[in-house]
Amino acid sequence: MSRAFASFFRSPAGTPTPNSFRYVFAALSGAALSFSFTGLYLSIYSYVCIGILLIVLFGAKPRVAFLCGGLHMLFFIVTSVPWIADVLAEHGGVPKIAGWGLVVLIGLYLGLLCGGFAWCVNRLAQRSILLACVGAPFLWVTLEFVREHFPEISFPWGLLGYAPSSNLGLLQITTLTGIYGLSFFAAAINAIFAWCDAATETPVRTRVTVLVSTLVLLLAAILLAPRLVPAIHANHYARAVQLNFPEVNDYPPTWYQDHAEDLNDIEQLSLAPSGNHPDLLIWPETPAPFSFEDARFVNRASQLGQKFGHPFLAGSVEWRPLPGTGQTIVSHTLVPYNSAVLVEQGRPVFVYDKIHLVPFGEYEPFPLIHRVVKSVSSEIGGFAKGSKFGVAKLPDGYSFSAFICYEAIYPGEIRHFAAQGAQLFVNISNDGWFGHSAAAEQHLRMARVRAVENRRWMLRVTNSGITASVDPYGRIFSPVPPDVRAGVDLPYDFRTDETLYTRFGDWFAWLCVIVSAILLATTFWKGNTAGEGIAIPVGLEPTLAAPTATA
């Protein structure tokens, strides 16, 4: 960045630049940030785009800052996850325009959170640019933490830290702090660049020194840190079958007869001879009417498990009565659960029911809008939530946990599996709904971080790609290309060590929340302003980035 960029928002006479310029740069910075999450996945944008937003906020009126933050997030969402509209149109039975409407709504509601971030940064900047830049990384992590824990409609997809996580060395930070440590790291780099550009009260030589030093250290970390990551070898292999069934919204009664050839082909892939001697068979999240309440599937799964001779894990839809309080059954109507079932010696021995369902996809988050949702599409909702972070025991005494699809983007939930004794992660998913969009790659990159956070091998098996194995340090092995039916032997092993993140969870994110609250509280204290020796009433402090009465 340069001094000229910050000066762009001030005329030579010190009068404020039209707010339209701020809005344009806020929107462009959000759209540009999506380049770190799509296409070539260039992480460099994650180190500069938030910095551009910060500079836009300095010297703006509070309401303008809020709108700038909202625009930044809105344009990031629209450009990074446009596949949501395609999925809803093609598989959700909604008009394309309605799908885009939902994308915009997601951007607007997350934009409110980002607007709050921008307002807080702007308020800190009224005290000093330095204070705002110091507080920005804490505030950004707070924003992302709220995104993960927002009731019912949380959407922590594409957090800032996932961009630098592509670097194997930097990725190891997550064992201490979770993904939020990497988000803090990237936001801090942005804040340093913004300070170097906007802190005009600091000598140019000092700012140039800080800028160059930051660039050198960042480059050194990017180039050297991966060399410090130890190599690791697996002692086991799992046979993973990428089924590549087409996505359909319903299954006719004759489905098994119509797909008999497909099922035979899949069984041959499952049982194909291999020199790796796989000791675990995995099918993905159900892309077909697989259910252990259906005798046709039970017979096939049982026979396949016996022929394979080792445990067999498959995604299925399990139909059971909905339990009420305790063991009381409040309804005899069967409801579906999105499940993973482990078969040993031809019979089911373990069932995990998906806990975190996809809002508006697998369930309706707000029952009060049931009629509205049904008026748009009758295909939305219907699944019941699981309630237990289950851990399965294998015959050799080792343990693993399975989680399903969308759950992989929730770090605070996945750590529960490792904390309860899972020595291996299995993530089954049906990413065929994403079509040919960037979503499948994004999903893999986020799931990969869960393995490193908890130092666990992870077997990720999908219907149509990307099926792969991830080691405890984040290396990806044996990826199967999208949109092909194939069987592959994925290396894996068991780990019993416990990371700081596994043990203490989101301690770092909570620390950022606390620091953010303290920093924001100081702006309401009518004491001395930063760097001044006299008390100035709140609301009349000078704005260092723009010496005008625009704050």
Q: Are 329 and 323 in contact (CB under 8 A)?
A: yes
Q: Are 4 and 10 in contact (CB under 8 A)?
A: no
Residue 536: strand, helix, or coil? coil
How high is the pLDDT of residue 10? 53
Type and span of the H or E element at 408: none
Phi, psi (deg, nearest 5) at residue 529: -80, 160
Whole-angstrom Cα distance, residue 209 to residue 219? 15
Give the closest residue to 43 by CA, choosing from 178, 190, 172: 190
How high is the pLDDT of residue 465? 81
CATH homologous superfamily for 236-492? Carbon-nitrogen hydrolase (3.60.110.10)
Q: Which token pair is 125?
A: 């900047």
Whole-angstrom Cα distance, residue 494 to residue 458? 10
How high is the pLDDT of residue 197? 94
Beta-bridge partner residues of 241: 487
How high is the pLDDT of residue 7? 52
How high is the pLDDT of residue 541? 42
How high is the pLDDT of residue 88? 78
How high is the pLDDT of residue 532? 38
**Sequence-ordered alpha helix ranges (H) in 34-173:** 49-57, 62-80, 83-91, 96-127, 129-149, 168-171
Average pLDDT of adjacent 10-residue blocks, the chain of 551 residues: 51 65 97 94 96 96 97 97 85 80 93 97 96 97 96 92 97 98 98 95 94 97 96 96 86 91 95 94 92 92 94 94 55 82 92 90 64 43 86 95 96 96 96 84 96 98 94 95 94 97 98 97 71 37 39 31
Q: Where are the domains of the chain?
A: 3-228+504-522, 236-492
**CA angle at residue 546 from 544 to 551, to 5 degrees?**
90
Order the strands of the 425-429 sheet from edge to edge.
392-393, 399-404, 425-429, 458-462, 467-470, 476-480
How high is the pLDDT of residue 452? 98
Whole-angstrom Cα distance, residue 530 to residue 522? 10
Contacts of 291 (CB under 8 A, 6+ apart): 297, 316, 317, 318, 319
